[in-house]
């Protein structure tokens, strides 16, 4: 589904927090709510979360552009399985793309732990991913990636914001400058 992944993101599995470390020169984080508030509590705050995600996606992809949605299921078995009913309902056509044996690449996993990545192609339009972004904002799902079909950029929404791996350091600077009020206050960008 993403044949260019290993060329564009060499030596990096499609795990959100791995991407920001491996591609720091192209990485920028945006918070979803003013004051770095993590979780929305009312309709106005949910609207702000969705608006910010759609603005950034709109600067990465054009309406109608085909992009890839990657969602993750978790298990102790290498056999792909989907974990979140809400994700299955939102994206029933997703197919297994690859499995990451997390216990082989991270010391914090002492037992077998497999992250099963499922992917599907979408024609992006503003609001297309709003139901999924709401699930992420509520910390109901994790390790979602929205990726250009040619892997020139990736967006990783998380509860509290989004990490963007821009196609270049120049694009990263442009995004940062355009949305400086959404940047974290911390010097390390987290």
Summarize pLDDT for 50-103 with one digit per residue, the tens: 999 999 999 999 999 999 999 999 999 999 988 888 999 999 999 999 999 999
Evaluate whether 122 touches 113 at the Cβ level (below 8 Å): no
Tokens of 185: 């206050």
DSSP class of residue 34?
G
pLDDT at 108: 86
CB 87 within 8 A of CB 129: no
Is the pLDDT reported for residue 45 higher than 90? Answer: yes
pTM: 0.94
Percent share of the chain, pLDDT over 90: 87
CA-nearest of 49, 120, 123 to 91 is 120
Indicate the domain borders of the chain. Answer: 5-179
pLDDT at residue 83, rounded to an integer? 82
pLDDT at site 189: 64
Report DSSP state, residue 139.
T
Contact between residue 70 and residue 97 where contact means Cβ atoms under 8 Å apart: yes
Task: Render pLDDT for 149-174 as a digit per residue (tens, 0 to 9).
Answer: 999 999 999 999 999 999 999 999 99
- Tens-digit pLDDT profile for residues 31-40: 999 999 999 9
Is the backbone of residue 43 left (phi > 0), alpha (psi -120 to 50) or beta? alpha
Cα 136 from chain centre = 9
Q: How many CA atoms lie within 13 A of 189 on its CB side?
A: 16
Confidence class for position 185, pLDDT limits 50, 70, 90:
confident
């Amino acid at each position: 589904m993403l044949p260019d992944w290993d060329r564009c993101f060499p030596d990096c599995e499609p795990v959100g927090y791995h991407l920001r470390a491996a591609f720091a020169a192209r990485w920028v984080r945006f918070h979803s709510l003013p004051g770095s508030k993590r979780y929305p509590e009312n309709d106005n705050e949910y609207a702000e979360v969705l608006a910010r995600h759609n603005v950034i996606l709109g600067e990465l992809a054009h309406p109608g552009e085909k992009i890839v949605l990657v969602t993750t299921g978790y298990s102790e078995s290498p056999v792909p399985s989907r974990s979140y009913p809400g994700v299955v309902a939102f994206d029933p056509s997703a197919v297994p793309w690859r499995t990451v044996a997390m216990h082989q690449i991270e010391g914090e996993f002492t037992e077998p732990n497999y992250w099963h990545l499922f992917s599907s192609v979408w024609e992006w339009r503003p609001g297309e991913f709003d139901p999924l972004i709401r699930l992420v904002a509520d910390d109901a799902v994790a390790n979602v990636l929205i990726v250009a079909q040619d892997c020139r950029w990736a967006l990783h929404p998380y509860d509290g914001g989004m990490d963007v791996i821009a196609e270049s350091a120049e694009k990263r600077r442009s995004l940062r400058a355009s949305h400086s009020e959404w940047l974290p206050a911390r010097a390390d960008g987290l």
